[in-house]
Amino acid sequence: MNERDLEIRQANKKALPKFIVTMVLCCLGGGVIGFLAAFFGADRLADVLKTAGVWFGWHLAPWLMAACAAASLAVSLPLYARARALADRWDGEDMDAYDRIDRQLTRNQKLNTFLLITGFFLLAASYTGSFSGGQKELSRLIGMAVAILAFFVLLFVQVRLSQKTVDLVKRLCPEKRGSVYELNFQSKWLDSCDEAERALIGQCAYKAYRAVNLACVILWGVFTVTALFLGTGLLPPLAVCILWGVSNGTYLRWAGKLSGIATVGGVSNP
């Protein structure tokens, strides 16, 4: 055995005890939770949770959706307007001013992403609440109509804001290419990014990939337990495993494809 093999073996040996302890603690924790759930009759929660879900979808979700649409109009648009005003005053030299514009746009983008994802969830919740049980009471239909209308308002505002934000960035950075209305916008935008921007995108994407992996493990655990005690069925864990597979499959496929290509970017300073 050479020196390098010995180093590798020693590194594994050093990390293994902590790994085993972590696995044992997780198994014990899962076992305790499962035992307590069975002991206290968690399966009776299924009906309670289903009723709560229907109530949420019927009474709350449509109005929360309307609130998201209102927030989009009342908060996102002014935030964009502020960034636009800063950009109009920018002399093209002041880097601190540019950083302020960038921070403003990033803040707005975070808010819009949160609102859009929440909107998708609330729309699904509204469907669940309005059409469960097959009853067509007027209040349910009104709730559904409010949810659909609010969703379209939210979607319209988000798309318009995305277009305006991209146009503003293109004004500040003339080398950028692509229109949000193009189907291949993301590819065109990436192609117009230089080495530093691609390095940044790569680092962010890797962190997102790791976060998705962790989230998938946790969700798989949660849905497996809920399938056992709350009768949620096979679909949730299947959906999680599909997402997990897509994420890892895509990463591994491109890692293989790109590993043969010489990298252009330099090493970043920490």
Under the rule (CB under 8 A), what is the footprint of another protein? 92-93, 95, 98, 173-176, 193-197, 199, 264-270
Q: Count of alpha carbons within 13 Å of 26, Cβ hemisphere only?
A: 9
Here the tokens at position 199 are 């390095």
DSSP-assigned letter for residue 230:
T
Q: Which is nearer to another protein, 255 or 267 (CB)?
A: 267
Q: Which is nearer to another protein, 128 or 192 (CB)?
A: 192
Q: Which is nearer to another protein, 162 or 192 (CB)?
A: 192
Q: Which is nearer to another protein, 58 or 189 (CB)?
A: 189
CA 46 to CA 4: how far, in whole Å? 55
Shortest distance (Å) from residue 149 CB to another protein = 40
Residues 6 or more apart whose CB falls under 8 angstroms from that of 129 comprise 53, 54, 55, 56, 57, 58, 59, 61, 140, 143
Residues 61, 129 contacting (CB under 8 angstroms) = yes
Shortest distance (Å) from residue 201 CB to another protein = 13
Shortest distance (Å) from residue 132 CB to another protein = 50
Shortest distance (Å) from residue 34 CB to another protein = 45
Q: Which is nearer to another protein, 167 or 194 (CB)?
A: 194
Shortest distance (Å) from residue 205 CB to another protein = 17
Indicate the burial class of 95 (C-beta count within 10 angstroms; 0-12, 13-18, 19 or more).
exposed
Number of H helices, E strands in the chain: 9, 0
Residues 212, 247 contacting (CB under 8 angstroms) = yes
Here the tokens at position 233 are 């069925």
DSSP percent split of the chain into helix, strand, coil, nearest 5: 85, 0, 15
Shortest distance (Å) from residue 173 CB to another protein = 6
Q: Count of alpha carbons within 13 Å of 101, Cβ hemisphere only?
A: 23
Q: Which is nearer to another protein, 98 or 251 (CB)?
A: 98
Shortest distance (Å) from residue 186 CB to another protein = 17
Q: Which is nearer to another protein, 95 or 261 (CB)?
A: 95
DSSP-assigned letter for residue 265:
S
